[in-house]
Structure 1
Amino acid sequence: MGHHHHHHSHDHSDLKGRNLLISIFLNIGITVAQVIGGLLSGSLALLSDALHNFSDVLSLIISFVAQRLGKKQACRKKTFGYKRAEILAAFVNAATLVVVAIILMKEAVERLLNPQQIESNLVIWLALIAIMFNGFSVLLLKKDSDHNMNMKSAYLHLLTDMMASVAVLVGGILMKYFEIYWVDAVLTMIIGIYLIYMGYDLLKESTKVLMLFTPKSVVIQDIVESICTIDPVKNVHHVHIWQLNEEEVHMEAHIDFKKDIRLSEFDEILEKIEEHVYHKHGINHVNIQPEFDKCDSKSIIVQD
């Protein structure tokens, strides 16, 4: 059985870890301030933002631990190492976004039924502080979020919380100058809906990776047809393609050959296949089982 792989890395793990740590401490400070301020002012929006910030702290800690685990080497008991750690972290963080959103919306409905007077000055100042701190954290994580699902989950938590703080600020101003206290609950509902919207997509993408689904950019039929153009390949079947993490896409397949080739010939053909699927389809880990005149179904491309 032939087995080849390409590795390419754009790892800035030390920088990512430092940025995550800074964001963790910033969000701990925001959470404590907002809990105290929310209790003193009576603002549900501020308390809901504090709850979201607390979920941010947990999500950032999960992301940080996962990022550190992802650097650990493989061993005999863990042949893939901890390469899935960041995907798992993304899944957990996306799920918490949705759960937090549901809790916020439930509280908002109760507050709409029983509106309360709120100390708006405290709400305004704490919202401004949260916007500044979260805005800085968002800038720290923005670059790495473009190509890493774990960092994207942390970034989304911070981005949505910054936007939630903006909503809280607007609400505080409306309550201060117009005494529209029900806006506190309405803004909480809007925050909750937005959290579900942002969390769902990431939850779906991380679930696909954990379930070993074929990446959406890969078309198996195209790969099979292109490999069959390489002589002396006769047939490609029993194909599995999955994404291990952000950087690795794996493929395994059975290849039926037109003639009984030597092992040295197979190595040359395998090299061609590996280069072909890497450059054309982004697959960087190939595992091929060669066959000649074997009695099994050659027509089923995908099978268990």
Structure 2
Amino acid sequence: MHVHHSHISHPHKPAGLHDSFRRVLWLGVMLNTAYVLVEAFVGLWLHSLSLVADAGHNLMDVLSLVISLLAFRLLQISPNQQFTYGYRKTTILAALLNAVILLITVGAIGMEAVKRMLHPLAIAGIDVSIVAGCGILINGFTAFLFFRYQHRDLNMKGAFLHMLADALVSVAVVISGLLMAAFGWYWLDPVISFAVLAVILISTWNLLKESLRLSLDGVPRDVDVQALTRRMEQVKGVKNVHHVHVWAMSTLENALTAHVVVDQQLSVAESSRIRHELEAVIRDMHIQHSTFEMETPADACKHGDCCVAAQQTSSSPASP
């Protein structure tokens, strides 16, 4: 029996989903760009490092939203002879770039916060609180827009976390502004800046880890390869599954290749049934694209996989 090689492609994510992503991202860009300009101007005018730090953080978030928009645009470009998968991977690279940009921001603001700790400046606390209060409204509303999409895409999750973190930081800035106005505790300004940096690091760390792993073709976090292999081997007629490789084609789509050892004699109808059942299994495990190389035990031996192919049979209880 010769090797059956099949490539099963499933429908891409609906265009409407990408359109929804773009709409909320554009709205987030416009709202936050306006706020960044106001916050940065007032922060420089009032010599408030906490406002300038938060404006810098918000600016990086705006840039990350723009990068995500570009990535989603590239996602829709059709594959060609040079890029047979298209430009899906740009969504992963965008998420990684966003995380790196935020880490650079942490370093720059941290250095300035240390200087301000040594030489605090008098600040108009009430004005700081008013501007930060506007930030709570804008960032909170933007986070609300992204909330429904955070579990469907890594870039949208990153955007949601950034906006939520910004809203929480704005709450802290409001409180510090009121305390500075009431008690003259101007040292709170750089302290709040450090709090901003801590929030950025916490919200960015998981995004950095996941985007770096996916950019290196690591297994996506929501895919358990061992559980996936076990479920595939439970399909009737499958003796063993090996050489399983899973990677992310984009932040929305995962892919798999695997060698599937089947019984020696299979009809065309039976082979088709097995492939359809395997497709159903991988869809349940968050994988949208797959390539199965169907093998018999003899074929596996030719490829040097005798021990692997026989493992399932030898470990199974003997028939009565």
Residues of 1 paired with 2:68 and 2:158: CA distance?
Answer: 8
Please tell me whether residue 297 in structure 1 is matched to residue 305 in structure 2: yes
Deviation of 1:45 after TM superposition, in Å, equals 0.6
Task: Please give the alpha-carbon distance, in whole angstroms, between the structure 1 residues aligned to 2:233 and 2:51.
Answer: 61
User: Is 1:100–2:108 an aligned residue pair?
Assistant: no
Instruction: Indicate conservation of the 8 Å contact 1:63/1:89, yes or no.
Output: yes
Partners of 2:258 and 2:128 in 1: CA distance: 60
Structure 1 stretch displaced more, 144-153 or 68-77: 68-77
Aligned-residue offset at 1:145: 1.9
Shift of residue 266, structure 1, vs aligned partner? 3.0
Identify which of 11, 20, 44 aligns with 1:15: 20
Compared with structure 1, are the counterparts of its residues 57 and 277 closer, same or farther at alpha carbon in structure 2 (3 Å cutoff)? closer
Report the Cα distance in structure 1 between the residues aligned to 2:163 and 2:57, rounded to whole angstroms. 9
Aligned equivalent of 1:228, options 228, 233, 236: 233
Q: Is the 8 A contact 1:35 1:50 kept in 2?
A: yes
Q: Which residue of 1 aligns with 2:312?
A: none
Deviation string 1:132-182 (CA, Å, 9 cap, x unpaired) is 222222222221223211112222222222222222211111111110000
Q: Does the 8 Å contact 1:232/1:259 carry over to 2?
A: no
TM-score for both structures, normalised by structure 2 = 0.85
CA contact (8 A) 1:94 1:202 kept: yes
For the residues of structure 2 that align with 1:67 and 1:5, how far apart are their CA atoms?
A: 20
Q: Does the 8 Å contact 2:88/2:249 carry over to 1? A: yes
CA distance in 2, matches of 1:129, 1:220: 46
* Paired position in structure 2 for 1:271: 276
State the match for 1:158 in structure 2: 163
Per the TM alignment, residue 204 of structure 1 is displaced from its structure 2 partner at its CA by 0.9
The 3 A distance-change label for structure 1 pair 31 and 229 is closer
- Choose the corresponding residue for 1:173, options 175, 178, 195: 178
Q: Which runs of 5+ in 2 are unaligned?
A: 310-320
Q: Does 1:4 pair with 2:8?
A: yes
- Checking the alignment, whether the CA contact within 8 Å between 1:2 and 1:267 is kept in structure 2 is no
**1:193 maps to which of 193, 198, 208:** 198
Asked if the contact 2:128/2:177 (under 8 Å) is kept, the reply is yes
Task: Pick the aligned partner of 2:249 from 225, 244, 251.
Answer: 244
* Partner residue of 1:138 out of 140, 143, 156: 143
C-alpha spacing 1:44/1:298, structure 2 compared with 1 (3 Å): farther
Q: How many angstroms apart in 2 are the aligned matches of 1:147 and 1:41?
A: 41
Aligned to 2:126: 121
Q: 5+ unaligned residues in a row in structure 1: which ranges?
A: none
CA RMSD across the alignment:
2.3
Report the Cα offset of residue 263 of structure 1. Answer: 5.4
Q: Is the 8 A contact 2:155 2:251 kept in 1?
A: no
| In 2: Cα distance, 1:207 partner to 1:276 partner | 27
Structure 1 distance, partners of 2:34, 2:230, is 57
Task: Write the distance in 2 (CA, Å) between the matches of 1:121 and 1:26.
Answer: 23
Q: Is the 8 A contact 2:102 2:204 kept in 1?
A: yes
- In the alignment, which residue of structure 2 is the partner of 1:282? 286
In structure 1, the residue corresponding to 2:260 is in which secondary structure? Answer: strand
* Pairs aligned (count): 300
> Aligned pair in 2 of structure 1 residues 222, 59: CA closer, same or farther (>3 Å)?
closer
Q: Which residues of 2 match residues 50-61 of structure 1 at below 5 A?
A: 50-61=55-66
TM-score (norm 1): 0.89
Q: For the structure 1 residues 16 and 161, does the alpha-carbon distance in structure 2 shift closer, same or farther, using more than 3 Å as the test?
A: same
Q: Distance in 2 between matches of 1:43 and 1:139?
A: 28
Residue 286 of structure 1 deviates from its aligned partner by 2.1
Q: 2-side partners of 1:230 and 1:17: how far apart?
A: 40
- What is the CA distance between 1:31 and its match in structure 2? 1.6
